[in-house]
Amino acid sequence: MLDQFTAYINRCHLISEGEKIILALSGGIDSMVLAYLLLKTKVQFVAAHCNFHLRGEESDGDEKFVRSFCEKNEIQCFVKRFETEKFAKEQGLSIEMAARELRYAWFEELRQQLGYDKIAVAHHADDQAETFFINLLRGAGLNGLKGMKPQNGVIIRPLLWASREQIRKYAVENQILWREDHTNAESVYLRNRIRNQMLPTFDELQPEARQGLYKSLEHLAAENELYRALLKEKLAQIVEREGDVQRLPYSKLVKTEAPEPVEGPTFSFQLLFEWLRQFGFNPDQCHFIYDALGTGIGNQYCSPTHGLVIGRDELQLSEIKEKKDDEIQIEIGEQEILSPVHLCFSKLEKTSDFVVDKSPEVAQLDFDTLKFPMTLRHWRHGDRFHPLGMKGSKLLSDFFVDQKFTEYQKQNVWLMVSASGDILWVVGYRIDDRFKVSNTTNSIFLCKQNRSTR
């Protein structure tokens, strides 16, 4: 088993020469065998033990056992005690999920504190099988069914190739002591029911059933890697970026060569789901969005980090940013505003050689027509102005349509408004014709927008 262990580490590039490892050492058979193998291979490591206080005296007994083992083998040992049930209740988590969050957060904190490279956990092939069936029952796709990776970031699983039977046999042959967790024999949790009830029945279906499952998991992992690579390439082709906004036209989402409609997720839905899931949208939201394509124009959906708007012929995605004050006053004589939009102001006397600056980032207004204090704000339904070059007024919402504004642009554009309530400038786009510099203008109010803020 030692040869298989070192071969797997080398094949998967789990531990390089000189790397320092934190071993998650529970005292159970799996982690004790992993500790024994690491000692045999001369890998530099320390032990980290979590006491979750879930099994009374047994939990304290596990801690004492791990401390004794580490002292005997001259392994530096770190122990953390948690009030797991209290944490689970406060966070609204199951005991299993609470313990998982606590231990991995501490492992990473310890790794950074010590300056170590990786964290080794003792997951094995049977854990893979159990995880597969758990995810299968939850309706997972390929990414969930592929199982755990030998390495995920700084987490490594050097025993992922070995079965529970192999590990137990090696422990007995080498007289490795361990602590037995009696809750593993109880079928309270789903994982335990799969381990104690389902997998034994699965093994009876045919010889080598478990080995066939292990091979299938390897194939799923390889196929998932290929799928992810092709998916990334496809999304790069169909998702357009404009500043902070990502845009997905419906025409690029639909698979034109699609066969007859079928029940269940379609090619186009799967693309939509894979695009949005990376920004925190859940499957239910993705179904609502997909069903609303083309009909729910203006509908908005939010994940914890991003907002999505259904447009006329595209989806528009942008990061949610905390908005500052909705209104900012501009007093007479003010020279600059830095946030939320960077504008510079100055008053100039009109000269005979004056030339109109046609850049949309510049507004040249007739100073004598302005009423202070002016205000910067976002648009409101019913807002109207007289776009430069037009004699009549226009709804700002119609101006947005003419300019092909995205929903993101509509919600985030700033307006400069006179104290009289007149819109002077759609900042960065168009001034109001009534306030332009004319032949009768004596003084010019010059506003410049920093391009990087547009």
Pick from 169-183, 185-199, 296-310: least confident:
185-199
- Give a yes or no: residue 419 inside a domain: yes
- Give a yes or no: residue 287 inside a domain: yes
Decide which of 376 and 326 is more confident.
376
pLDDT at 263 over 50: no
The pTM score is 0.59
Return the closest-CA partner of residue 20 out of 45, 49, 47: 45
- Do 293 and 341 lie in one domain? The reply is no
Task: Check if the beta carbon of residue 416 is closer than 8 Å to that of residue 329.
Answer: no
**Domain end (from 190, 222, 254):** 222
Taking the mean position of all CA atoms in its chain, how far away is CA 16?
29
**Domain end (from 297, 319, 341):** 319
pLDDT digits 0-9 by tens, 34-77: 999 999 998 999 999 999 988 888 899 999 999 999 999 999 99
Q: For residue 451, what pLDDT is reported?
A: 58
pLDDT digits 0-9 by tens, 111-170: 999 999 999 999 999 998 888 998 898 888 887 888 888 999 999 999 999 999 999 999
**Helical pair 283-291 and 267-277, crossing angle rounded to 10 deg:** 130
CATH code for the domain of 26: 3.40.50.620
Q: Which residues, other chains included, contact 47 with Cβ-Cβ below 8 Å and sequence gap of 6+? A: 22, 23, 25, 35, 66, 70, 75, 76, 77, 78
Tokens (6 digits) for 443: 């003084």
**Mean pLDDT of the region 266-284:** 87
Angle (CA) 367-368-373 rounded to 5° is: 70
Q: How many domains does the chain have?
A: 3
- Do 314 and 332 lie in one domain? The reply is no
Q: For residue 187, what pLDDT is reported?
A: 63
**3-state DSSP call for residue 302?**
strand
Q: For residue 265, what pLDDT is reported?
A: 52
Cα 88 to Cα 299: distance, rounded to the nearest angstrom: 35
Tokens (6 digits) for 62: 């596990």
| Mean pLDDT over each residue of the chain, to the nearest integer | 87
**Domain end (from 319, 345, 370):** 319
Decide which of 256 and 39 is more confident.
39
- Give a yes or no: residue 229 inside a domain: no
Q: For residue 184, what pLDDT is reported?
A: 66
- Do 62 and 79 lie in one domain? The reply is yes
Task: Check if the beta carbon of residue 103 is closer than 8 Å to that of residue 119.
Answer: no
- Do 101 and 32 lie in one domain? The reply is yes
- Do 62 and 154 lie in one domain? The reply is yes
Strands ordered across the beta sheet of 314-319: 240-242, 245-249, 314-319, 306-310, 300-302
CATH code for the domain of 437: 3.50.40.10
- Give a yes or no: residue 389 inside a domain: yes
- Give a yes or no: residue 19 inside a domain: yes
Neighbours of 306 (CB within 10 A): 17
Q: For residue 254, what pLDDT is reported?
A: 64
Helix %, strand %, coil % for the chain, to 5? 40, 20, 40
| Structural domain range at position 293 | 239-319
Determine the residue type at 306. H
Q: Which residue has the tokens 């231990």?
A: 103
- Do 259 and 358 lie in one domain? The reply is no
Q: For residue 305, what pLDDT is reported?
A: 82
Please give the share of the chain, as a percent, with pLDDT higher than 70.
93
- Do 166 and 262 lie in one domain? The reply is no
- Do 77 and 195 lie in one domain? The reply is yes
Tokens (6 digits) for 210: 């478990």
Determine the residue type at 212. G
Cα 74 to Cα 439: distance, rounded to the nearest angstrom: 91
- Do 170 and 271 lie in one domain? The reply is no
Tokens (6 digits) for 23: 């071993």
- Give a yes or no: residue 188 inside a domain: yes
- Do 263 and 218 lie in one domain? The reply is no
- Do 302 and 333 lie in one domain? The reply is no
- Do 133 and 260 lie in one domain? The reply is no
